[in-house]
Chain A
Amino acid sequence: TQLLEQSPQFLSIQEGENLTVYCNSSSVFSSLQWYRQEPGEGPVLLVTVVTGGEVKKLKRLTFQFGDARKDSSLHITAAQPGDTGLYLCAGVGNAGNMLTFGGGTRLMVKP
């Protein structure tokens, strides 16, 4: 069974601070995706990382895939209240496109 562990589970920071969320597994995934979920809504895809060592930037968000394709990180620079939400990492297996989700990181950015 493939498992993904996210840390931290909860994060409460002030506007303007930086933060990093980690997603770790003992399994290799063909790719890894990061989602953001707002209350009452489904997850919305932020990025997919495919190649070991890959780094992708989305405005103030930086996503990295580990060299061995087992772990990933999400770094947010100068967090804003609009970044508040549940951040989920999900590994894509080699068979089909079934997603294995981490437990999520609930981020609150205070003005």
Chain B
Amino acid sequence: DAGVTQSPTHLIKTRGQQVTLRCSPKSGHDTVSWYQQALGQGPQFIFQYYEEEERQRGNFPDRFSGHQFPNYSSELNVNALLLGDSALYLCASSLWQTVRKPQHFGDGTRLSIL
């Protein structure tokens, strides 16, 4: 039973470029959440997708956008990259509105902006 998988594992971009990160949820899960973890800090919630719609959003600019596909996989897009976007981007999957069921995290994509 595959867990949450993210690709790529590492990525290097330059300022102003655009990037797309991908996430496949754990089998049986229908909800995908994205988090940004800056070096030495805890993860910060970006947004959550269910039924191909953004359901909740954290305090991130609209340069951050996402998409969920019918097979529940998801993409995170970041436009006009800034140096401060350098971070580990984590994807977590779960079942919608099952608060007491754990979210499962992938190992993340390490994004470096030069």
Query: Which residues of chain A have a CB within 8 Å of any CB of chain B?
Result: 1, 4, 6, 30-31, 33, 40-45, 48, 50, 88, 90, 92, 95-104, 106
Q: How many residues of B are counted as interface, with CB atoms below 8 angstroms from the partner's CB atoms?
A: 28
Which residue from A44, A92, A95 sits with its C-beta under 8 Å from B56?
A95
Contact A96 B107 (CB under 8 A): no
Shortest Cβ distance from B99 into A: residue = A97
Q: Is the interface of B mostly helix, strand, loop or mixed?
A: loop
Q: Say whether, besides A88-B43, A95-B56, A42 and B105 are in contact (CB < 8 Å).
A: yes
A99 in contact with B45 (CB, 8 Å): yes
- CB of B97 within 8 A of chain A? yes
Contact call A45/B100, Cβ cutoff below 8 A = no
Smallest beta-carbon distance A30→chain B, Å: 6
